[in-house]
Structure 1
Amino acid sequence: MHLTEPPDGTDEDAARAEQRQRALDEDHRICDAVEALPDADTMHAWVTRFALLADPTRLTLLLCIHAAGEICVSDLALAAGLKDTTTSQALRLLRAQGLVATQRSGRVVRYRLDDETVHALLHEVAGQPARL
């Protein structure tokens, strides 16, 4: 029997009609799922953000910056419980990826969040207990 043939009223036809409807419903879900995927550049940007956030040191620094607003390296290292050099290395990477920006005031360089999406994510992370 082809999908275009009308059913003849048997239980087998009813089962096939139900199966066809399930397939159409699934097909719709598949199309919705595919349409929800971002383009390759957007996907890469999200993967990069999540990779940066996946490191405990970088996430700690970002959460501290999120709470402080603007903060210098030595104060940030103290708040995060890290060495200045470790903090500087992590900040260099975060700055290169555009998550933080700097503001110089004489010899003091202060860091602030520079990615609104990460800012919003950190706002959620800071206010929620972790659940898996």
Structure 2
Amino acid sequence: MHLVPAERADRRSIDGHRVCDAVAAIGEPGHVRTWADRFSLLAEPHRLALLLALHRAGPLAVSDLAIATGMNDPAVSQALRLLRTAGIVAGEKDGRVVRYRLTDSRTGALLDHCAPGAD
């Protein structure tokens, strides 16, 4: 059980080799936290709808996203602000219009599994 942290090494194990495999699969706590945060962003239906729209339709303005998702403009802006802060989307200004796009490829890969017909 060479991968078990020292503070847990004295615990009785049934399948020591599987415990080591599990420890390796979990990885560093920071890595787990990063993925948990990413999943929490996807767990809210309105944010997930926005991300699916951006992933499949490409760059869209707030008003277009509001129409597509059934949300109002301020709610879309607030959700995009959160997603932008998390580094998942970015806005690109074109004159007076800002179009948002998905920038995180790992989130895009997750969204591929959430699209209609991916069940």
Q: TM-score scaled to structure 1, two decimals?
A: 0.76
Q: Which residue of 1 aligns with 2:75?
A: 86
Alignment of 1:22-101 (within 5 A): 23=14, 26-101=15-90
Once the two structures are TM-superposed, the CA of residue 29 in structure 1 deviates from its matched residue by: 0.7
2: CA distance, partners of 1:50 / 1:38: 17
2: CA distance, partners of 1:80 / 1:54: 16
1: CA distance, partners of 2:65 / 2:27: 35
Q: Which residue of 1 aligns with 2:96?
A: 107
2: CA distance, partners of 1:31 / 1:43: 17
The answer for unaligned runs of 5 or more in structure 1 is 1-22
| Structure having the higher Rg | 1
Residue 118 (structure 2) aligned to one of 95, 110, 128: 128
Alignment length, in residue pairs? 105
CA distances 1:4-55 after superposition (whole Å, capped 9, x unpaired): xxxxxxxxxxxxxxxxxxx4xx111111101111212211110110000000
The one-letter amino acid paired with 1:128 is A
The answer for unaligned runs of 5 or more in structure 2 is 1-13
CA distances 1:47-76 after superposition (whole Å, capped 9, x unpaired): 110000000110011011111110000001
More helix by share: 1
List, as ranges, runs of 4+ consecutive aligned residues in structure 1 with deviation greater than 6 Å.
none
1: CA distance, partners of 2:58 / 2:33: 27
What percentage of aligned pairs have identical amino acids?
52
Greater shift after overlay, 67-76 or 32-41? Answer: 32-41
The one-letter amino acid paired with 1:40 is P
2: CA distance, partners of 1:80 / 1:103: 20
Q: Which residue of 2 aligns with 1:11?
A: none
